[in-house]
A and B are shown apart, each in its own frame.
Chain A
Amino acid sequence: MDSANNSDGDVPPGGGRPPGGAPPGGPPVRAVITLVVNGTEHRIGVDTRASLLDVLREDLGLTGSKKGCDHGQCGACTILLDGRRANGCLALAVAHDGARITTVEGLADGDRLSPLQEAFIEYDAFQCGYCTPGQLCSATAVLDEAAAGWPSAVTPDITAATPMLDAAEIRERMSGNLCRCGAYVNIVAALRDTAERAERQSAADAARATSAASDARSEAIGHAQGVGRR
């Protein structure tokens, strides 16, 4: 006779609780934590086994963040956790008491979509839409990371103050977010356009603050960068 049980990928062969675990039969252990999600503070009792993703989706009713694998392998659950992108399915909620979280529901400013959200629609950067919340949170972070000067594995000059978000950079930085519909070509186009607009905007802002001569130059740069746009 062979005995066994559930095989959802993380259960030791032969089944049963992993060695060293508490014996079965006890009630779930709960803890009260505070989460600030999209600017709203929630004081909430959570199961200490629960991921941030499940707390958002099941307890707070914020189902925008998606579960594609629950194992940190697909990026559908990507959220901004204290300003940085993270897989909600890999974050234990109880370990993030006091965290500030932004989910896809918090990317727009009221009815005004973020430039990335607008670009995703304009470039048709999704089909089924299931990976999209994660892609958008990830892409939002990519813009911030590049602006903060973080290099990636493909950055040619890692000492550059702000790496250019060209297609190769975007593909590298967005590879933690799988899209089975195969919308990558359009995701890259949407992100690139948003990054270019932001660069043009900051160039224009900088120019306005200085002389008329440098103003003219930044417009020329802006024009050159705009050529690739659809």
Chain B
Amino acid sequence: MRALERVEGRDKVTGRARYAYEYPVEGAVYASAVQATVGRGTIAAVDAEAALAIPGVLAVVSCENAPRLRQAADAELAVFQSREVSYRGQLVAAVVAETLDTARDAARFVRIEYAPAAEGPDVRLHPGHPGIYKPDKVNPTFPADSVKGDPEEALPASAVQVEATYTTPAEHNNAMEPHATLAVWEEDGGLTLYDSNQGSSTVRDTLAEIFGLEPERVRVVSPHVGGGFGSKGTPRPNVVLAAMAAGVVGRPVKFAFTRQQMFSATGYRPPSIQRVRLGADGTGRLTTVVHEALSQTSMIREFVEQTATPTRMMYQAPNRRTAHRVTRLNVPTPSWMRAPGETPGMYALESAMDELAYAAGIDPVELRIRNEPETDPESGLPFSSRNLVACLREGAERFGWGDRDPRPAVRREGRKLYGTGVASSTYPAYRSPNQAYVRADADGRFTVRIAAADIGTGARTTLTLIAAETLKVEPERVAVELGDSSLPRASLAGGSSGTAGWGSAVVRACEALLPKLDAGLPAEATADTTDEVKAQEKYARHAYGAQFAEVEVDVDTGEVRVPRMLGVFAAGRIINPTTARSQFIGGMTMGLGMALMEQTVMDEEFGDYLNHDLAQYHVPACADVRDIEAFWVDERDAHLNPMGSKGIGEIGIVGAAAAVANAVHHATGLRVRDLPITPAKILTGM
């Protein structure tokens, strides 16, 4: 398909694109949040007097006076409904004031008396934690465990064995736009929310439920969203807080979390402790794969990252087992962060595969090719398409893998050691039911409507191309309206399922419109893909990729730099090469951050994520990123959706950290099994 520049590009480079906090609503006032400063306890009393005495303060809302909400499925949304404090940083009150400065200032004067629990907060994840249990399911609905064959018997009998524990830290999404909401109660009792989210239909339904309204009475407007990476996939407390505060003061209320508050209030990737055991015969064929993952969740909501699930289908092996365990701690509630499950899980599996390649004396690319399964090894389902091997081969060719000397720690120039690494990547190809509307006007223009979200993925542009192709017109004649819950219901921008789900509905609506065009304009048509999605055949549907990285390690400072990353992906048909390339590279860039710098550190005494700002939580900056290239192989898959596409928003991050870590080993001979690979770990290890 033709490469199309972002259709909203002009709005974004001129500052005209409006984000949630930026709507000019008459009479809007400001809310500021107060967070718990104890990690475990109860609120004994809230003294709002000093805050309320400040001119311009309109209200202080807390557990003592908050309107009662209907029960929410996500306990994080039960804002100010309880006196219980289960983690430090939990929202305990909000101040509403005429101006932002007054609201922020007054928040300092809300005095909250706590009755701390007898014991301090329990915040340390470790394998001996007494609260460890097996969850009923892991995100979103996978079984916690799986087993095939007899891995405990087969492993010791294997010619080559690898056993290692890998750990990953808590990581925070840190979308550049903080979670924000502008809430307006309309005169007719309806609620309008200008909100930063990954799915306006979902926010509408959730808020309607919490405030006891009919869904049609709630409208969520979100045409532009400043990134989410999963953290805006579920409604966060900001939207409830803003709506509640607006109700209390009878004025529109603007609320945004501060960057610091985002670290406890908007979700994060939980830390993981993963044990991987691999057994292989002398030719590198796997006999056994065992992957066990431990993570944490909060006291108020169970979220278990599906860390070991990619291992269920990545490689062939007759004996295999995966397991997930979790424990509840006095910590903020973890949630989705770009490729939850695949990202930490493939870091561990693909690091272990590299260790196996060394143990067996086989090239790491070749080792993966030798373990290519014919069908999904656990479910037995056929793959709708699987081109991992093509990605590995093409990537090796483009990267110049062929003449690689496998010996570690032998390439040195001055203070620098050089190395290269490879890892596989994968992400499931999901599709959800959606609705869409399309209209043809007499002026030759077409309007597509769907409550999809463009959080920077390029959805608006991609859907424009999809509609234009189906209608057989130039994309310039198509306008896509999205990001508004008053449009036909759409699924989330999540699980890399957006284009597949939304695109299917757009194609079906356009197909329904085509025969009507001759009967006179304007003409319109709608589609609902619920039945189509339900009826789809059973296949194992996944995208694959191969990640290559080159590193240079300074032996004196321990600093790792990444001069080159190269990814080749097989993700079905690529609809818009321009935005697809950006998505892949963006994911790989975040993977570079995961490998080398990203970690949120828990204060074990007080129970707080300590480095809760962008000066201390390091995300890659421009100078950290040198050459990153993304390519894709031509993949035709008739078992996906009318476009033949697989999602691409997450696969770019998967495997990237393992490729870098494997390259660090190749450069230095050192296996750092604990992310991120900081200079301290290099220096103490070497």
Contacts and interface: CB of A to CB of B under 8 A. Distances in A.
Interface stretch (B221-229, B296-304, B398-406, B435-443): B221-229
Given A5-B37, A74-B176, A15 B114 contact: no
Interface string B75-106: 00000000000000100000000011110110
Interface stretch (B508-516, B574-582, B670-678): B574-582
Interface residues of A, number: 77
B623 interface: yes
Contacts of A170: 622
Contact of B113 (A1, A49, A124): A1
A73 B613 contact: yes
B108 A5 contact: yes
A140 B105 CA distance: 35
A132 B620 CA distance: 16
A104 to B, nearest CB: 4
Nearest to B15: A64
A185 B622 CA distance: 8
Contacts of B116: 2
Given A57-B22, A71-B259, A184 B625 contact: yes
Interface string A4-15: 111111010101
A81 interface: no
B32 interface: yes
* Chain B: interface size category: 35 or more
A183 B590 CA distance: 10
B176 A76 contact: yes
Nearest to A68: B176
Given A5-B112, A9-B259, A69-B259, A131 B176 contact: yes
A76 B608 CA distance: 26
B639 to A, nearest CB: 29
Nearest to A120: B13
A16 B108 contact: yes
A127 B625 contact: no
Nearest to A122: B5
Contacts, number: 261
A25 B99 contact: no
Nearest to A58: B100
Contact of B110 (A6, A27, A105, A107): A6
Given A2-B38, A4-B38, A117-B14, A24 B109 contact: yes
Contact of A128 (B226, B256, B627): B226
Contact of A7 (B50, B113, B260, B456): B260
Contacts of A107: 13-14
B109 A63 contact: no
Contacts of B19: 63, 66, 130
B130 to A, nearest CB: 26
Contacts of A178: 176, 614, 619, 621
Nearest to A23: B50
Interface in B23-82: 24, 32-38, 41, 44, 50, 53-56
Interface in B118-165: none
Contacts of B109: 5, 16-17, 24
Interface in A108-141: 108, 113, 117, 120-122, 124, 126-133, 136
B259 A175 contact: no
Contact of A25 (B37, B54, B628): B54
B643 to A, nearest CB: 20
Given A120-B13, A124-B6, A182 B622 contact: no
B370 interface: no
A50 B105 CA distance: 11
A186 B176 contact: no
State the majority secondary structure of interface residues on A: loop
Contacts of A194: none
Contacts of A120: 9, 13
A187 interface: yes
B99 A28 contact: yes
Contacts of A187: 622
Nearest to B89: A7
Interface in B578-599: 578-579, 581-583, 585-590
A215 to B, nearest CB: 34
A131 to B, nearest CB: 5
A191 to B, nearest CB: 10
A129 B626 CA distance: 21
B22 A128 contact: no
A167 B16 CA distance: 29
A144 interface: no
A188 B622 contact: yes
B104 A5 contact: no
A15 B615 contact: no
B573 interface: no
Given A54-B101, A70-B259, A129 B582 contact: no
A180 interface: yes
A183 B456 CA distance: 11
A30 to B, nearest CB: 10
Contacts of A181: 176, 227, 456, 582, 586
A124 B622 contact: no
Contact of A180 (B18, B41, B227, B583): B227
A47 interface: yes
B622 A73 contact: no
Contacts of B53: 24-25
Contact of B32 (A6, A9, A15, A25): A6
Nearest to B3: A124
B5 A121 contact: yes
A67 interface: yes
Contacts of A71: 259, 613-615
Nearest to A127: B456
Contacts of B261: 7-9
Contact of B100 (A6, A54, A62): A54
Given A108-B14, A182-B585, 17 more contacts: A5-B111, A6-B110, A9-B258, A9-B260, A47-B101, A47-B102, A63-B19, A65-B15, A73-B613, A121-B9, A124-B581, A128-B227, A130-B175, A132-B12, A178-B176, A178-B621, A185-B627
The list of the 6 closest CB pairs from A to B, nearest first, reads A64-B15, A128-B456, A130-B226, A182-B589, A4-B37, A9-B260
24 contacts: A2-B41, A5-B34, A5-B37, A6-B107, A8-B32, A8-B33, A8-B261, A17-B108, A25-B54, A57-B21, A66-B177, A67-B21, A107-B14, A121-B5, A124-B5, A127-B583, A128-B177, A128-B227, A128-B456, A129-B8, A129-B17, A180-B175, A180-B619, A181-B586
